[in-house]
Amino acid sequence: MIRRLGVCYYPEHWPETLWPEDARRMAEAGLSLVRIGEFAWSRLEPEPGVLRWDWLDRAIETLGAAGLKVVLGTPTATPPRWMLDRHPDMLARDLQGRPRGFGSRRHYCFSHPGYLEECRRIVTLLAERHGRNPCLAAWQTDNEYGCHDTVLSYSEAARDAFRGWLRARYGGANGGDIAALNAAWGTVFWSMEYRDFDEIDLPNLTVTEAAPGHWLAFRRFSSDQVVAFNRAQVQIIRAFSEAPIAHNHMGRETDVDHFALGGDLDIASWDSYPLGFLEDRVGAPPERQRRYARQGDPDFQAFHHDLYRAAATLAPAGGTPRWWVMEQQPGPVNWAPYNPAPLPGMVRLWTWEAFAHGAEAVLYFRWRQAPFGQEQLHAGLLRPDSAAAPGLTEAAQVARELADAPLVTQAQAAVALIFDHASDWAWRVQPQGRGLSYFGLVFDLYRALRRAGLSIDILSTAARDFTGYRVILAPGMMQMSDDLKTALNTSGAEILVGPRSAARTDDFRIPVPLPPAWPGLDVTVARLETLRPDMPRPLAGGGAAQYWIETLEGTADSLMALEDGTPVAMREGRVTYCGAWLDEPGLDRLVAGLCARAGLPCHALPDGLRIRDTAAERFWFNYGSETADTPAGPIPPAGVLRQPL
Amino acid sequence: MIRRLGVCYYPEHWPETLWPEDARRMAEAGLSLVRIGEFAWSRLEPEPGVLRWDWLDRAIETLGAAGLKVVLGTPTATPPRWMLDRHPDMLARDLQGRPRGFGSRRHYCFSHPGYLEECRRIVTLLAERHGRNPCLAAWQTDNEYGCHDTVLSYSEAARDAFRGWLRARYGGANGGDIAALNAAWGTVFWSMEYRDFDEIDLPNLTVTEAAPGHWLAFRRFSSDQVVAFNRAQVQIIRAFSEAPIAHNHMGRETDVDHFALGGDLDIASWDSYPLGFLEDRVGAPPERQRRYARQGDPDFQAFHHDLYRAAATLAPAGGTPRWWVMEQQPGPVNWAPYNPAPLPGMVRLWTWEAFAHGAEAVLYFRWRQAPFGQEQLHAGLLRPDSAAAPGLTEAAQVARELADAPLVTQAQAAVALIFDHASDWAWRVQPQGRGLSYFGLVFDLYRALRRAGLSIDILSTAARDFTGYRVILAPGMMQMSDDLKTALNTSGAEILVGPRSAARTDDFRIPVPLPPAWPGLDVTVARLETLRPDMPRPLAGGGAAQYWIETLEGTADSLMALEDGTPVAMREGRVTYCGAWLDEPGLDRLVAGLCARAGLPCHALPDGLRIRDTAAERFWFNYGSETADTPAGPIPPAGVLRQPL
Amino acid sequence: MIRRLGVCYYPEHWPETLWPEDARRMAEAGLSLVRIGEFAWSRLEPEPGVLRWDWLDRAIETLGAAGLKVVLGTPTATPPRWMLDRHPDMLARDLQGRPRGFGSRRHYCFSHPGYLEECRRIVTLLAERHGRNPCLAAWQTDNEYGCHDTVLSYSEAARDAFRGWLRARYGGANGGDIAALNAAWGTVFWSMEYRDFDEIDLPNLTVTEAAPGHWLAFRRFSSDQVVAFNRAQVQIIRAFSEAPIAHNHMGRETDVDHFALGGDLDIASWDSYPLGFLEDRVGAPPERQRRYARQGDPDFQAFHHDLYRAAATLAPAGGTPRWWVMEQQPGPVNWAPYNPAPLPGMVRLWTWEAFAHGAEAVLYFRWRQAPFGQEQLHAGLLRPDSAAAPGLTEAAQVARELADAPLVTQAQAAVALIFDHASDWAWRVQPQGRGLSYFGLVFDLYRALRRAGLSIDILSTAARDFTGYRVILAPGMMQMSDDLKTALNTSGAEILVGPRSAARTDDFRIPVPLPPAWPGLDVTVARLETLRPDMPRPLAGGGAAQYWIETLEGTADSLMALEDGTPVAMREGRVTYCGAWLDEPGLDRLVAGLCARAGLPCHALPDGLRIRDTAAERFWFNYGSETADTPAGPIPPAGVLRQPL
C-alpha cells in the first residue's frame, strides 16, 4: 500500500494571499493530503441560509493546483452562534445538569432532532457542491466525537430519545414492554419499578448510584445516538460523492463504539498526541511519565493503531482495511497538564510506527501554529511567523524515506486481542475498586504482549473466524455470547479470558450458573475481591495479583497460584481463565506460558524498545533515551530500524 | 439474655417457589429472625391506592411455618416512582441546591408534609394488617436514616419547616422573637440581621460560610425532623401492634441524634460493615488500613456497640437495654473504595463481639446475593446460585456455639464516656483545623481506653446518675450544662474533660467567663491553636500534642506539659481538663494516670488484641493476623476466647 | 513621616457601656486610629429608608473624647437582608452559575445598577453626616474587594454590562464594531464568530475552554467594574469631606487592578495575615510551611508592602505615598487550614516591618475577639472576656518604641520590579502548565532579590521614568508596549525580562514578529515547553530550569545555559532575557549576575534573615526560630534590629 503524508489546514484562518505559498511549501515537504473545513461553518454560512462557497472553492483550487488532495470535513462540531437562536435547547447538559454553552466547540446534544436536521442540511449543501470535486481525496464527518466528554448528554432531548430507545429495546406489542425492562434491570431491588417508559429518567443526580442496568442502557443508547448522527451524514455524502468517508477519534475515547461507527465508514482514523496522552490519559505511574515525558508511552500509540485497524476491517466495502492518523502531534501541545517538546526524532518515529502498523496516511496537526484562539500554544509544522518548526524537518525526512524505501505490507499477526466497548462501559458503571477500568486491564495485558516482542491484531466483538491466530485473548469482557465462546473453543488457538470475562448478561445481571460458565472449562468464580493498591498478593514463582482477585473453584488445572496454593489462573483444553489482575512480572509469566503452549517465540524486550512485524520486515522502535542493541544493530534514541524478516 | 441470629431477606426478589427451601435452610443454620419488607413499597402498592398484600402474607406464613420470626420493615425509604407524580417537590435537595432524583433510594425530604402523610398511610395499612401477626418479632422503621447524606436537605420544604422550627425555638408572644434569634446568632456581625423569620434562608450557598449559630440551628432542626418523621411511624405502629420497634443506623452516621430517636424506640440497632467502614469511614492511616484490611478496625465495631447500647437505655419501657446488629457484613461488600473478603473467622468474631457487648440479636445482610440491582456485588450467606457462601458456615458455627455455651450477661463498666451528637455537629460547623472532628477525637480516646484493656459504657448527654463509674470522660463536648458539671463533680469518679469541652453556649457563642468555667477547677482556656498534622508538639515524658492545643491558665495542678513546661492537662479535685488532642503515647499516659488515680487496673494490650468484660467472663478477640498470647492461653487470628472472671 | 498604630473596632457589637473603657484602653496602649462602621449597614438603616445615626454619632464622640481618630468605612460590603427584597437579582453568580446567597458578606454583583444606586445613597448619607467630623482621620470604601472570589460574577447583570463594555472597547461608529472583536479574539478559530455584541455570553460553562481573548476581556471588564464601583463612592465622599480615602485589599488578591483603583484613592492599604497566608495563599512547599508556621513567609508581607506602596504613588494628590496596613493579624485566626499562634515577638516584628517599608499606619484586627459570628475564633487584642491577649502587649511595645526611636524615612531603592495585574490574569487564562502563575513567577524572583539582601521598589506598568534604578525587572509581563520597552532601554539600568515577557498583544494574540521583539536585543522565543515539576533541567554551573522553558534563538550573548549548552538567558546591551523559570540556586546566580553588572552590592542572607534599607537605617528582621548573626550584632528569633547606615 502507498503510504501518504498530509497536514491539517485552516485557510479561513489566514489571508488568502498566503495560500499559494503554503500549498507550495506543503508539496515541497512531501505532503500530499490536506484536511480542511471542519471548523468553518460560520464562514460557510455566516447568517442562517446565507451560504458563502467562494472562499472554500478557491482554497481547494489553490491546494489542488499545487498537486495536493483535500480531505473535506463537515463542520458540524462547531455550529455557529445563530444556531442557538433557532434551537435554544440544542445544548448538551453535563452530569450536573448544567447546559454546556456556546463559546468553544461540540456544544450540541446528539439527540436533538432540530440540530440533526440542520446538520443534514449543511452536509447536503457541502456534498452537493464538492462531492465530485477531483481534488477531493476523502471526507471527514464532524470532528472527534466524544472529545471533552460529549457523548453522554443529560438533556431533555436525550431523555426523550432514551425513552424511545428503551421502548424499542424492550419491545412489546404496543411500543415497549415495561415489565421486561423492570425484570432486566432488577428495579424491584429498591422499589424502582416503572409503570411506563415515560417514567424513566436519566441515571444522573440520583441519591446514590442508579441501577447498573439503567446506566449501561444509557451508555449503549448514547453510543447509538452518535452512530445514528454519523450515519445521517454518511448517507447524504454517499448520495453525492464516491470519495471515501472517515471520522477522526481521540485517544482513549471509548464512550462511542468505534466498531459500530466503523461499519458505516470507509476509513477509520484517530488523532495521535503521544505526549499529551502520556500526561493526561495513559494513567502511567510517575516514573513512567518521567521516563517517557518527551517520547510518549511506548505502547499507547501502537494500541490505538491496532484498534483502529480493527475498526477499519468493518468498512462496508471490505478489502484491505484503510485507517489513518488524521492528526499527528508535531511538537508541544497546549492541553495536557504539562507540555514538553518531543525528543528530536520522535515525530519521525511516531509517523513510521503508524505506517508499520498499517496506516495508509498520517496527517500532521496543524500546518501553522495559530496566533489566536484556544490552541495558540499548540505547535504546527510552521511557527506563527511561518518559519519552519522542528516538526516540518522530520515530516520532510519521512516523506523522503517513504519515497526511497520498500513498501510496507501488512500481515496477519499471530496474537489476537478482542476489544469490547460495552465492557469498558460496564466496568465504568461498576468498577468495584477505585480506579479500576477495562481499558486499564486490557492495556496492561497489551503492554505485556509488546514486552514479549509480539505483534498483535485487535479484533472486534463480532469476530468469529479466528483462522491463523495462535493466541487469542479476551480479558475482562463482561458480556460474552455462547457462540463466541464456541468459536474460541474451536479456533485451535490458546485462549486467555478473565478476570470478569462473561461475568454479566447483556442487561447487567449476574448469570446463573455463575461465570464464566465456559463449555469444557470447569472453573467457577465463587467470589471476588478488590484490593488496596498497596496490598498485592504474591504469586508462587514470582509476580503478584493486584487490584482484583477472584476465588476460582473447579477441576481445571491450576496454572498460576498464590503463595498459599490458591489458584489464580486455571486451564482446561486450550482455555485459560485468569481470575486476577496481575502485575508486570505476573503478566510476563502468563504471556510466556501462553506463547510456549502455542509454540510462539517471544523476545523479552528491554523497556522502551518495541517491535512491529509486517509481511516482510521487522520494525524496531526505540522509545528510550539511550541507544539500544537489537539483532539488526544498535538503534539510537527515537530511532527506527527496518530489519528484513 | 438469650442471643439470637437472623438474616435480611427479600422474598419479592425471588420466585415464590424458592421461599420454602430458603426458610428451611435458614432454620437449619440456626437463624431465627428474618427481616423483610423494607424496600418493597412498589410491590405492596404498585399503583397509588392499589394494595397487594397476598405475597407478603404468604412470605410471612412460609417463614413462620419454618419456625422463623419476622422483623417487618416499613417501606418508606423507597417510595415508588408514582409518588413523584403526586408530590413533585418531595425530593430532597443537596448542598448545591440540586434535586436528588428518583432511581436509587432515600429520595425524599424529611420536611415534606405530603410525603409524611403518604408514609402515615402506608404504615397504617401495614400495621393494621400485620401488627398482631404471631410471626412478628419486631418492626423496623424506614431504613438507615441519613445514609447517602440524606439528613440535611436544602429544599423549599426544609426551608419553610426550618422557619417554623426557629419561630418555636426563639419563641415570643406572637410566634417567634426575631430579636432573640439575632442576638443568639450574633447576626449583627456582618449586617445579617433579620426582621422576620421568613427572611431566613438555609445556610448553604452563601458567599463565605454562614454564621455558626445558623448552621448549628439547621443541624439541630434537621435531626429533629428525622425524629419527628420516625415518631409519626412509631405512634401508628403502637396503635396496632405490641411488637417492639427498631430502626437500623449506619456506622459513623451522626447527623441524626441516636439518643433522641432512641427515646421513641424499643430496640436500638445498627448495620455493621467492618471492612467497608475501615476503607470508607474510620479515617485510619494507611498502615492501619493495610493491617486490618480483612478484619476491620479493632475498635470501630465495639464503639458502635457501646453507642447503641446507650441509645437502647433510653427506650420508653426501660429495663435491660435491647439493641441489635440489624445488618452484619457476611463477606465482601460493593460500596467501599476497595472490597476484600474477610479473613476466615472474622464473621464469627464480629458476631461474638456484638454479643459480648450486649447485643440481643445479630442479623446477617443478606440471605442470598442478588444477581441484579445496585448491590449485586454485596455478598450474602448464599451465592446468587444458592450455594453456601463462606459466611453461612461461620454463622452456623456461632449458632451452635450459642446453643452450647453459657448465657452472656452484661455488667456495668467502670469507665463511662459521654457522647454528644450536637458536639459532633458543632465541630463540623467550626473545625478550626482541616479534618478535625468530634467523632475523631472521641474515637481516639475510646481506642486508648481499649488499648488499656478497659470495658466502656457510653452515656447519653442526659445522664446525671453516675453511680458505679470510677472514670468518666466527656472530651470535646462543646455544650455542657451547669447541672451536668455539678453531677460530674459529685459523682465520686475521676473526670476527664477537654479539649473544647463547655466551649460554647447552646447557640454557639463563646461564654464569658471563658471555658471551661468549671466549678472547683481553676483552669481557663486563654487561647487555642490548631496545628499542621506534621507539626506535633512533644510532651515532657513522652508522647505529643497534635492538631489542637489550648493555652491553659489557672492554679490547678499541671498533670502533663509540653517539653517547655507549658501545661497541657491540669487537675483539681477529681477533674482533669486536657487542653490538647494527644497522640497515642500521650493518650496512653493520660488514660493510665486516670486509672491509677481511680484505682482501676489497666492491661496494656498488644495491637489487635481486645477485651470485653461481661458479668462473668472476659472475652478476648484477636483482630491481628498472628496468634497472640493471653492469660487464658493462645488465641489464633480471628479468634475468640471466653475466660471466666 | 509619623507612624501610627490603630485598631479595628465594632461598637455595634458591644454594649454601649463598654465603649468608654475600650477607648481609654486603646489610647493607653498607644493606639491612635480606630476603624469603624464597615459592616454596620443593618444598624445604620435597619429598615429601608429608616436611618439610625445616634449610636454611630455617640461611638465617634466617645472615641474622639479619648483622643482617638476614626477611620470610617462605607458599609457596602454587607447589604442588609431587606436589600434583597428590593433587588432580588443583585446577587453575584459563581463560576457554576449559582447565585451567591445572603447569610455572610459580599453577596452582591458589582455590575448591578440597582445595588450601585443603593450604595450611592448610603454613602451620600454617611458622608453628609460625618464628612467634616473633626474626629475623622480617613475613609475606607467597602471592605476587601475580591475577598471570597467576588470580583468575577457570572450574573445576568454582569453579562449585560460586559456586552456594553465590549461595545465601548471595540468601538465603531454605531456602538461597537463586532468585526473588530471577532478579529481580536480570533473567533473564526472554532466558528465562534459573533454577529452582534448581544450574542456574547460570559466565558464560563462552555464545553471546553472559551477563547483566551474572551476570558482576558472578561477579566479586564471585571476589574474595571470594581474600579467604577469604588469611584462612585469616592466621588460622593469628596463632595462632602476632605479626609483621605482608602480601601483595604487582601493578600494575593489580584483580580482587581490595585493600580487602577489606587489612582482614585489617597491611601493604599492591605490586610496582613502572615500565618493565614502562609497556610492558605503563599503556595510554599511543606518544609517552608513547617519552618515558618508561626512566623509567616519571610517575604510575603514585604512583597505586599512594596506593592501597595507602589499603588499609593498613583494617588491623585501625589507627594509622599501614603499606605497602611489596615488589618494586622494579632494572634491566631480562624480561616486558614491550620491556625497556630504567632511566635512571641512576631506581632511586633510584622508591625515594624511594615513601618520599615514605609507604612504610615498599622491597625490591628480587631480590638476584642467576638464571642459570636463567623470569626469568633479570630484573635483580637483583647480576649472575649476583655482580658489582654498577647497581641496587645506587643502592640503597646511598638507604640513605646515608636515614641522613643528616630523617625523612619523612606528612600528610593536601587532595584525596581514591575508588577502587572493583566499579566496575572493572562497567565490564569493560559497557564500552559498546571499550577503556573504570574504571581508565583514574580514572587520567586522577589524572594531571590531579598535573599541577596536587596531592597526593592515595585512599580506599576505605567512607570516610564526609571531615574535612579540600577536594576529593573519585568518577568512574565505578557503585554509590554513599545514605549515601555524603549523607556527601559534608555533607563541606563540593567534590565531583566522573560520568560513570557511581551508574549501577547493586548487582545491575547501571539505577535508576529515573535516575542520578545525587543529593540536592540536579538532574541526570539522559537518554542516553549512546560515541564513536570519533577523534571527540572540542570543548568551548566549550578541550579536548574523548571516548570517553564523557552527555546531562544538569536545572536545575543548566552548568559546562562543548560548543561548541553542551550541558552536559557541571553543578553545584549543592558537587556537580559531569561527564557526559563529558574529554581532558587538558578535565580540566585541570575540576580548575582545582574547586580554585579549593575555594580550593586549583594548580601547572601541566611534563610529567614531579611533586610530593609530606609534613608538612614538598615532594618534587620529575623523570621527564623534561632538567633542569627548580623553585622550589627546577634538578633534573636522574631527580632528587629535597626542599624544606622
Catalytic residue among A45, A327, A394, A550: A327
Nearest CA in chain B to C92: B207
Measure the CA dihedral C419/C421/C423/C427, to 10°.
120
Q: Identify whether residues C397 and C472 lie together within a single domain.
A: no
Q: Identify whether residues A111 and A44 lie together within a single domain.
A: yes
Interface test with A, best of C98, C154, C192 (most A CBs within 10 A): C192
Blockwise average pLDDT, block size 10, chain A, 645 residues: 94 98 98 98 98 98 98 98 98 97 98 98 98 98 98 98 96 79 97 97 98 98 98 98 98 97 98 97 95 98 98 94 98 98 98 98 98 98 98 98 90 98 98 98 98 98 97 98 98 98 97 98 98 98 98 98 98 98 98 98 94 97 96 96 94
Q: How far apart, in whole angstroms, are the C-alpha atoms of residue B234 and residue A257?
A: 53
Distance from CA of B204 to the nearest CA of A (A): 18
The band of B406, judged by pLDDT with boundaries at 50, 70 and 90, is confident
Q: How far apart, in whole angstroms, are the C-alpha atoms of residue B191 and residue C77?
A: 9
Q: Identify whether residues C546 and C620 lie together within a single domain.
A: no
Q: Identify whether residues C480 and C586 lie together within a single domain.
A: yes
- Total of domains in chain C: 4
The string of DSSP codes covering A52-71 is: --HHHHHHHHHHHHTT-EEE
Catalytic residue among B118, B253, B327, B550: B327
CA A403 to chain centre: 30
The band of B173, judged by pLDDT with boundaries at 50, 70 and 90, is low
Q: Angle, nearest 10°, between helix axes C438-451 and C584-598?
A: 60
Lookup: cell for C300: 510575603
**Could you tell me the residue range of the domain that residue B168 belongs to?**
156-215
Least confident of A468-482, B624-638, C164-178: C164-178
The band of C174, judged by pLDDT with boundaries at 50, 70 and 90, is low
Q: Which of A194, A195, A434 sits opposite B338 (nearest CB)?
A: A434
Which amino acid, B56? Answer: L
Residue C221 lies in a domain: no
Nearest CA in chain B to A510: B371
Q: B574-611: per-residue pLDDT in tens?
A: 999 999 999 999 999 999 999 999 999 999 999 899 99
Q: Measured between beta carbons, which residues in chain A are less than 8 angstroms from residue C97? A: 98
Kindly determine whether residue C102 and residue B192, on different chains, have CB atoms separated by under 8 Å.
yes
The string of DSSP codes covering A258-284 is: HHHHHTT-SEEEEEE-HHHHHHHTS--
Please report the pLDDT score of residue C176 as a whole number.
75
Q: How far apart, in whole angstroms, are the C-alpha atoms of residue A298 and residue A639?
A: 13
Q: What is the mean pLDDT of residues C304-310?
A: 98
Q: What is the mean pLDDT of residues C546-562?
A: 98
Among A404, A439, A462, the domain-final residue is A404
Residue C126 lies in a domain: yes
- Burial of C133 per CB tally in 10 Å (0-12, 13-18, 19+): middle
Residue A173 lies in a domain: no
Q: How far apart, in whole angstroms, are the C-alpha atoms of residue A619 and residue B252?
A: 59
Per the annotation, where are the binding residues of C for Zn(2+)?
109
Q: Identify whether residues B590 and B618 lie together within a single domain.
A: no
Residue B24 lies in a domain: yes
Q: Identify whether residues A443 and A581 lie together within a single domain.
A: yes
Q: How far apart, in whole angstroms, are the C-alpha atoms of residue C202 and residue B99?
A: 26
Kindly determine whether residue C188 and residue A332, on different chains, have CB atoms separated by under 8 Å.
no
Distance from CA of A591 to the nearest CA of C (A): 34
B with C: how many residue pairs have Cβ under 8 Å apart?
165
Among A377, A404, A431, the domain-final residue is A404
Q: Identify whether residues A317 and A347 lie together within a single domain.
A: yes
Q: Which subunits sit against C, judged by 3+ Cβ pairs under 8 A?
A: A, B
Lookup: cell for C259: 493600580
For residue A166, what are the contacts with CB-CB under 8 A and spacing of at least 6?
A176, A181, A197, A200, A217, A221
CA A536 to chain centre: 30
For residue C206, what are the contacts with CB-CB under 8 A and spacing of at least 6?
A100, A101, A102, A103, A104, A107
Kindly determine whether residue C372 and residue B213, on different chains, have CB atoms separated by under 8 Å.
yes
Residue B314 lies in a domain: yes
For residue A492, what are the contacts with CB-CB under 8 A and spacing of at least 6?
A466, A574
Per the annotation, where are the binding residues of C for substrate?
105, 143, 335
Please report the pLDDT score of residue B175 as a whole number.
64
Q: Which helix (H) or strand (E) holds A400?
A: helix A390-404
Per the annotation, where are the binding residues of B?
105, 109, 143, 335
- Reply yes or no: is the peptide bond before residue B513 cis, omega within 30 of 0: yes
Q: Which of B46, B99, B103 sits opposite A192 (nearest CB)?
A: B103
Q: How far apart, in whole angstroms, are the C-alpha atoms of residue A249 and residue B165?
A: 56
Please report the pLDDT score of residue B171 as a whole number.
80
Q: Identify whether residues A538 and A622 lie together within a single domain.
A: no
Q: Identify whether residues A455 and A545 lie together within a single domain.
A: yes
Residue B462 lies in a domain: yes
For residue A471, what are the contacts with CB-CB under 8 A and spacing of at least 6?
A414, A415, A416, A493, A494, A496, A594, A595, A598, A600
Q: Measured between beta carbons, which residues in chain A are less than 8 angstroms from residue B42? A: 187-188, 191-193
Q: Measured between beta carbons, which residues in chain C are less than 8 angstroms from residue A637? A: none
Catalytic residue among C327, C353, C360, C494: C327
The string of DSSP codes covering A453-512 is: T--EEEE-TT----TT-SEEEETT-----HHHHHHHHTS-SEEEE-SSTT-S-TTS---S
Kindly determine whether residue A102 and residue C201, on different chains, have CB atoms separated by under 8 Å.
yes
Lookup: cell for B415: 469507665
Kindly determine whether residue A43 and residue C510, on different chains, have CB atoms separated by under 8 Å.
no
Q: How far apart, in whole angstroms, are the C-alpha atoms of residue B567 and residue B526?
A: 12
- Reply yes or no: is the peptide bond before residue B366 cis, omega within 30 of 0: yes
Interface test with A, best of B12, B18, B42, B294 (most A CBs within 10 A): B42
Least confident of A12-26, B165-179, B392-406, C459-473: B165-179
Interface test with C, best of A290, A372, A383, A386 (most C CBs within 10 A): A372
Q: Identify whether residues C388 and C494 lie together within a single domain.
A: no
Q: B461-484: per-residue pLDDT in tens?
A: 999 999 999 999 999 999 999 999
The band of C423, judged by pLDDT with boundaries at 50, 70 and 90, is very high
Would the pLDDT of B344 be above 80? yes
Q: Which of A41, A98, A339 sits opposite C432 (nearest CB)?
A: A339
Kindly determine whether residue A374 and residue C190, on different chains, have CB atoms separated by under 8 Å.
yes
- 3-state class of C429 per DSSP? helix
Q: How far apart, in whole angstroms, are the C-alpha atoms of residue B311 and residue B314?
A: 6
Catalytic residue among B38, B45, B118, B144: B144
Kindly determine whether residue B384 and residue A96, on different chains, have CB atoms separated by under 8 Å.
no
Please report the pLDDT score of residue A483 as a whole number.
97
Nearest CA in chain B to C369: B510
Distance from CA of B577 to the nearest CA of C (A): 20
Lookup: cell for C528: 516553549
Please report the pLDDT score of residue B96 as a whole number.
96
Per the annotation, where are the binding residues of A for substrate?
105, 143, 335
Please report the pLDDT score of residue A208 as a whole number.
98
Q: What is the mean pLDDT of residues B202-208?
A: 98
CATH of the domain at A342: 3.20.20.80
Of A337, A333, A507, the closest CA to residue A422 belongs to A507
Q: How far apart, in whole angstroms, are the C-alpha atoms of residue C507 and residue C595?
A: 35
Q: What is the mean pLDDT of residues B340-348?
A: 98
A with C: how many residue pairs have Cβ under 8 Å apart?
165
Residues in chain C: 645
Q: How far apart, in whole angstroms, are the C-alpha atoms of residue B318 and residue A551?
A: 48
CA C605 to chain centre: 26
Lookup: cell for A236: 447524504
Lookup: cell for C50: 429608616
> Is C253 a catalytic site residue?
no
Kindly determine whether residue C206 and residue A332, on different chains, have CB atoms separated by under 8 Å.
no
Q: C109-128: per-residue pLDDT in tens?
A: 999 999 999 999 999 999 99
Lookup: cell for A631: 539483532
Q: Which subunits sit against A, judged by 3+ Cβ pairs under 8 A?
A: B, C
Distance from CA of A33 to the nearest CA of B (A): 49
- Reply yes or no: is the peptide bond before residue A516 cis, omega within 30 of 0: yes
Residue C220 lies in a domain: no
Nearest CA in chain A to C547: A338
Q: Strand A471-474's sheet: what is its strand order?
A: A456-459, A415-418, A471-474, A494-497, A575-578, A567-572, A557-561
Percentage of chain B exceeding pLDDT 70: 99
Q: What is the mean pLDDT of residues C56-69?
A: 98
Q: B414-467: per-residue pLDDT in tens?
A: 999 999 999 999 999 999 999 999 999 999 999 999 999 999 999 999 999 999
For residue C629, the tally of other CB atoms under 10 A from its CB is 10
> Is B327 a catalytic site residue?
yes
Cα-based distances in Å from A529 to A478, A498, B337: 16, 14, 11
What letter does residue A605 receive in the DSSP assignment? P
Would the pLDDT of C16 be above 80? yes
Would the pLDDT of B172 be above 80? no
Q: Is the pTM of this model over 0.95?
A: yes
Q: Measured between beta carbons, which residues in chain C are less than 8 angstroms from residue B206? A: 100-104, 107
Q: Does the interface ipTM go beyond 0.90? A: yes
Of B105, C276, B462, B263, the closest CA to residue A206 belongs to B105
Q: C498-519: per-residue pLDDT in tens?
A: 999 999 999 999 999 999 999 9
Residue C223 lies in a domain: no
Nearest CA in chain A to C504: A371
CATH of the domain at A588: 3.40.50.880
Among A382, A404, A426, the domain-final residue is A404
Answer whether A618's CB lies under 8 Å from A603's CB: no
Please give the mean pLDDT across all residues of chain B: 97
Q: Residue C257 region, left (φ>0) first, then alpha (ψ -120 to 50), else beta?
A: beta
Q: How far apart, in whole angstroms, are the C-alpha atoms of residue C388 and residue B97?
A: 44
For residue B212, what are the contacts with CB-CB under 8 A and spacing of at least 6?
B426, B429, B430, B508, C373, C374, C376
Interface test with B, best of A96, A188, A214, A216 (most B CBs within 10 A): A188
Q: Which of A81, A332, A369 sits opposite C194 (nearest CB)?
A: A81
Answer whether A81's CB lies under 8 Å from A52's CB: no
Catalytic residue among A38, A144, A253, A360: A144
What letter does residue B338 receive in the DSSP assignment? S
Would the pLDDT of B174 be above 70? no
Q: Identify whether residues B432 and B552 lie together within a single domain.
A: yes
Q: How far apart, in whole angstroms, are the C-alpha atoms of residue A288 and residue A284?
A: 6
Would the pLDDT of C331 be above 90? yes
Q: Identify whether residues A329 and A442 lie together within a single domain.
A: no
Count of CA atoms in the C-beta half-sphere (13 A) of A524:
13
Lookup: cell for A533: 493498591
